[in-house]
Amino acid sequence: QMQESFPFSLLCLQVIKCKAAVLWEANKPFSIEEVEVAPPKTHEVRIKIVATGICRSDDHVVTGALIMPFPIILGHEAAGVVESVGQGVTSMKPGDKVIPLFVPQCGECSSCLSTRGNLCSKNDLCSAAGLMPDGTTRFTCKGKAVHHFIGTSTFTEYTVVHESAAAKIDSAAPLEKVCLIGCGFSTGYGAAVQTAKVEPGSTCAVFGLGGVGLSVIMGCKVAGASRIIAIDINKEKFAKAKELGATDCVNPKDFKKPVEEVLTEMTGHGVDYSFEVIGRTETMTAALACCHNNYGVSVIVGVPPAAQNISFDPMLLFTGRTWKGSVFGGWKSKDSVPKLVADYMKKKFVLDPLITHTLPLTKINEGFELLRTGK
C-alpha cells in the first residue's frame, strides 16, 4: 500500500543499513560492521552482493603491498542483483543479475577506443583514490566515511558502483560460480588467450598455481598448447593443475639451480610463453628468463608489490623476447564479461575446481587464512 503511494524514484533514495567487512588499518583482521550505503547518484547502480571471491590482490592491501586509503571495504570479484539505479542508467534495471567490474569500460577514453587496450582511464587501480568517480564515497560506518576499493567494494551486502563498472549477465547464471568471472578466472584465462595469444602446439610455463594461475592453465589448454609446465613451491597444488591441463609440474625447491635454467633444459630452448601469476619481482625475472631468447613472450599477471623495482640484464630483451603486462586478462570488461558468462553456461570452461571453500561473510578472516596458507 505504502509503495503504491510513492513514485519509484523516491523509494530508491533510502540509505541501506547492512553488514560489511571493514578494514580499518593494514595488517589487522577485517571487522564485521553495520554500514550505511547511500543511494546511487546519476549513472550509478546499487547492487545486492550475492557471492564474492577472495583474491590475493585484496590481501595485498591488508599487507601493504598494494597501497590504498583506510578505512576501506575491499573485495572486487563478485556477482549480485541490481537493487536500484540512479538517474540516467540505461544498461541495467533493478532485478538484473550483474558482475561488478574493477576495470570499468567508459567507451570514451583512449584505451576503450583502441582495439589493443582494455585498461579504461576511469579505473581506480592506478590512482588508488578509493572514491567514486565524482570524488565522494557511498559508505559510512560509525559516522566515518569508508573508502571504496577499485570501484567495486564487494565485501558488503550492498555496494554502489558506476554504471560503467557493472555488466549485466544471463539471468540464469549461478552467481556463486560466475562471481569468479569478475576477476580470477577472466584475468588468468585472458592472459593466455587474449594477451599472450598462445598458439596451438606451443610450450607454456605458469608460475603460481592459485585460482588465477589455474585459469591461465585452462586458457593455455583451450588455445592448444602442447606442453604446460606448472611451477609452485607448494606441491599440494600440482594435482589440480594436472587436472586442469598441466603436463609437467616443477617445484623450484627440488633444484639447486635457478628455475629458469631447469625450464630451459626441460624444453631445450626455453618456453614460447611464460606467465608470472604471483606478484613477486624474483619470479617475474625468472619467468622472463625462461622463455625463448628470441621469440619468447612473458606476461606479468600478478600485481607487483609497491615500492619494489626490478634489476635485470637488458640482453634478455635485446635478443627479442617480449615482456608484457595484462590487467583483467586484456578483456574489455563491459563487453566481454556477459560473453564469458554465456560461454560458461555453454560449458566451454569449468569454474567448480577453482572453488575450494564456501563461507559466510562473517567468517571472512578464516577465508583469508585459507588463502594465506595455500589451502
Please tell me the distance from the alpha carbon of residue 258 to that of residue 255, in angstroms, as a whole number.
7
Question: Cβ contacts of residue 129 below 8 Å, gap of 6+?
Answer: 69, 135
Determine phi and psi for 82, rounding to 5 degrees.
Answer: -65, 125
The DSSP H or E segment spanning 11 is helix 8-12
State yes or no: is 57 an active-site residue. yes
Name the active-site residue from 106, 112, 120, 183.
183
Name the active-site residue from 57, 186, 274, 298.
57
State yes or no: is 183 an active-site residue. yes
Strands 227-231 and 203-207: parallel
Question: Cβ contacts of residue 140 below 8 Å, gap of 6+?
Answer: 35, 36, 38, 146
Number of C-beta neighbours around residue 113 at 10 A: 10
Tell me the sheet residues that pair with 20: 33, 156
State yes or no: is 292 an active-site residue. no
Please tell me the distance from the alpha carbon of residue 148 to that of residue 164, in angstroms, as a whole number.
15
Name the active-site residue from 18, 76, 84, 114.
76
Give alpha helix (H) positions in 231-280. Answer: 238-243, 259-267
| CB-CB contact of 182 with 138 (8 Å) | no
Helices 56-63 + 364-372 axis angle, to 10: 100
Name the active-site residue from 5, 55, 269, 292.
55
| CB-CB contact of 160 with 52 (8 Å) | no
Q: Which residues are catalytic?
A: 55, 57, 60, 76, 183
